[in-house]
Amino acid sequence: MTVLAGLREVIESQGVFCALYSDRGSHFFYTPAAGGKVDKSRPTQVGRAMQELGIQTIAAYSPEARGRSERNFGTWQNRLPQELRGAGLGKLEEANLFLRERYIAEFNRHFSVPAQEKGTAFRAYSRKDLDFIFSVQTERVVSKDNTVAIGERWWQIEKSRWRYSLAKQTVTIHQHRNGTVSIRFGPHVVGRYDAGGQPLTAEAQTKRRGKDGSVEARENQKQVSPGSHPPLEISPKARDFHFSTAPTTISSPREAKTKTKKAAA
């Protein structure tokens, strides 16, 4: 979670970058055999997030690269506690504020090296799905009672307007950094829960509804791109049937004449 939070902060403040060069820690890569090659076909949560953003992950194998990262770790682990103590800081929020407003700028001023070429390789990221990308994702098959579980924790999926049950369907459970949980089926969010496991869907639906129907319906209409066809609207009027609804079997000629006269009328 801390690595995901750090990467998200970089993307929100600087933009999407081209590649992430890191050690072979288990949070970055899965390594089948100790000291061997990493298996990129089985991405970790960090690897999966980087794939969704189109960022290449590069595993460091050389001892020089490992030594450089370890020296950085040593500097932070030895120096930062002294800096925080000297500033009289004792809370996590205060420490993070100190890092953002003072330490990072001072660190870069002392150790950064100017690039040989002008410009930046960062690209602005405009999508609004970072909460889902930088979450711990787990796929589960929905049970017959419309529930999913991770370990000893169960979540009840409420029926939606477009589907009564998701039984036997595969959904993705998103565990967010703030403790909340979201469940998605394809592009649809089918459940939201707070840190205590209580559903947030009912409250959200109440807030989203208005006199013109749900906000989701209005937003879907707004999102129609220029030149595309608007959503198909079905008239609520009763349908005119063009085929006779008379029985196909008739018991006697007299009944046949009577029913034919009624049908003509």
Looking up residue 87, the CATH number of its domain turns out to be 3.30.420
Give pLDDT, residue 54.
Answer: 94
Q: Which of 191, 208, 225 is the last residue of a domain?
A: 208
The answer on pLDDT for 244 being more than 90 is no
| Rg (alpha carbons) of the chain, rounded to whole number | 30
In this prediction the pTM is: 0.67
Q: Which of 183, 208, 233 is the last residue of a domain?
A: 208
pLDDT band, residue 130 (cuts 50/70/90): very high
* Any domain includes 120: no
* Any domain includes 234: no
* Any domain includes 49: yes
The pair of structure tokens assigned to 248 is 């196909």
Q: Please check whether residues 82 and 6 belong to one and the same domain.
A: yes
Q: Please check whether residues 148 and 200 belong to one and the same domain.
A: yes
Q: Which of 95, 111, 127 is the last residue of a domain?
A: 111
Give pLDDT, residue 202.
Answer: 55
Quote the number of domains for the chain. Answer: 2
* Any domain includes 262: no
Q: Please check whether residues 106 and 140 belong to one and the same domain.
A: no
* Any domain includes 187: yes
* Any domain includes 119: no
* Any domain includes 99: yes
The answer on pLDDT for 66 being more than 70 is yes
Q: Please check whether residues 89 and 176 belong to one and the same domain.
A: no
The answer on pLDDT for 137 being more than 50 is yes
Q: Please check whether residues 140 and 104 belong to one and the same domain.
A: no
74-104 pLDDT per residue, tens: 888 888 888 899 989 989 899 989 988 998 8
- 82/61 Cα distance (integer angstroms): 32
Question: How much of the chain exceeds pLDDT 70, in percent?
Answer: 75
Which of 8-22, 40-54, 149-163, 170-184 comes out lowest in average pLDDT? Answer: 149-163
pLDDT band, residue 265 (cuts 50/70/90): low
Q: What is the mean pLDDT of the chain?
A: 79
Q: Please check whether residues 75 and 160 belong to one and the same domain.
A: no
The answer on pLDDT for 40 being more than 80 is yes
Give pLDDT, residue 183.
Answer: 94
The answer on pLDDT for 3 being more than 60 is yes
Q: Please check whether residues 17 and 89 belong to one and the same domain.
A: yes
Give pLDDT, residue 247.
Answer: 39
Give yes or no for a contact between 16 and 123, defined as CB atoms under 8 angstroms apart.
Answer: yes
Higher pLDDT, 69 or 155: 155
Q: Please check whether residues 107 and 184 belong to one and the same domain.
A: no
Question: What is the span of the domain harbouring residue 72?
Answer: 2-111
* Any domain includes 41: yes
Give pLDDT, residue 260.
Answer: 47
